Chains A and B, each alone.
Chain A
Amino acid sequence: MNCEEIKNLMMGYIDGELSDEQKSLVEKHIEECEKCRDEYKSFVRIKEVTEDMRLADLKEDIWAGYWKGVYKRIERGAGWIFLSIGAIILLAFGMFEFIKSIIFDPSLSLIVKIGIFSLTLGVVILLVSILRERLFAFKKERYRDIER
């Protein structure tokens, strides 16, 4: 086996993932090849140093409250959804009533009515457009930026 072929196997050797036959191949190669032997020693050193490292753990009471935290987030998310639905319904109803009152108001001229109607329609179209964009982004978001 040449140096290029031994690279991957060397990783398996360090991590204890090889069969006896593969182990013999690696051992034979690093015994004969000084370059790979030096590289092997450096990799072992990295492994030893990281084995001695501990990522900062959390206190037991924080772990105990972990599920409650997740549950609260789920619950609040549902709260926001209902709040948004309610707000949209009320807003739509209010706008409908507003437009109706303008259309049937005899004191307003036709041009003012058209202006207000156009303005309201524009706001509705923009709102729908933003909502649709957000919804689309949310649906796609799971796989965004995945570099595989």
Chain B
Amino acid sequence: MKKERSLEYEDEKLILLTQKGKMKAFEILVNRYKKNAYFIALGLVGNSEDAYDLSQDAFVKVYRSINKYNGTSKFFPWFYTILTNLCKNHLKRQNVKKRYLSQETERQKLNSEAQNSSNSEEKLEKLALKEKLLEEIEKLPFKFKEIIVLKHFRDLSYKEISEVLEIPIGSVMSRLYYARKKLKESLKDFRE
């Protein structure tokens, strides 16, 4: 899992310290997981500003319920549940305008390359394919979308996904299969 583990304390130890009122411990925890939180939220809601707010809200919620944490489970699955819950509620509340990627920049770059390069058509088609794929990811049911985000955009291992979603590894593979199958159907029109 992509974590910023520059400091030696384990998550559970940091939570215990936070429960004792050590704000510095919570700061370390936030800095350790902030990028994961932001990128997962971005993958789920598709909007950078909202993802930033939702990820921060999730940390605030964790802090407010920190005394409920009894140390028997891992921190990240607990945090993930809170974060995805916020994302689900957010998606229900509004029709979010998608801004997944810095695609404008990418498109401009490709257009300028198109004037000079012989394989530009292929590149433009690849960009169209990416856009189509993103559209289709957005349309997936939540449980398929989250597994695509965790595997494809956060590169979590099956074991990590299994812990975060609290499902067996067999179910991780099965969900990935059905999610990818749905995406596969949508890419039929693109050439191989």
Contacts and interface: CB of A to CB of B under 8 A. Distances in A.
Interface stretch (B5-13, B107-115, B179-187): B179-187
The interface size bin for chain B is 35 or more
A74 B52 CA distance: 16
Given A11-B180, A17-B158, A73-B60, A56 B173 contact: no
A49 B101 contact: no
Given A42-B187, A66-B31, A10 B177 contact: yes
Contacts, number: 118
B22 interface: no
B126 A49 contact: yes
B100 interface: yes
9 contacts: A11-B176, A15-B176, A46-B184, A52-B126, A63-B34, A74-B60, A74-B64, A147-B142, A147-B143
Contact of A15 (B65, B151, B165): B151
Interface in B56-105: 56-57, 59-61, 63-65, 81-82, 84-85, 88-89, 92, 99-102
Interface of B: 23, 27, 30-31, 34-35, 38-39, 42-43, 48, 52, 56-57, 59-61, 63-65, 81-82, 84-85, 88-89, 92, 99-102, 126, 129-130, 133-134, 142-143, 148, 151-153, 157-158, 165-167, 170, 173-174, 176-177, 180-181, 183-184, 187, 192
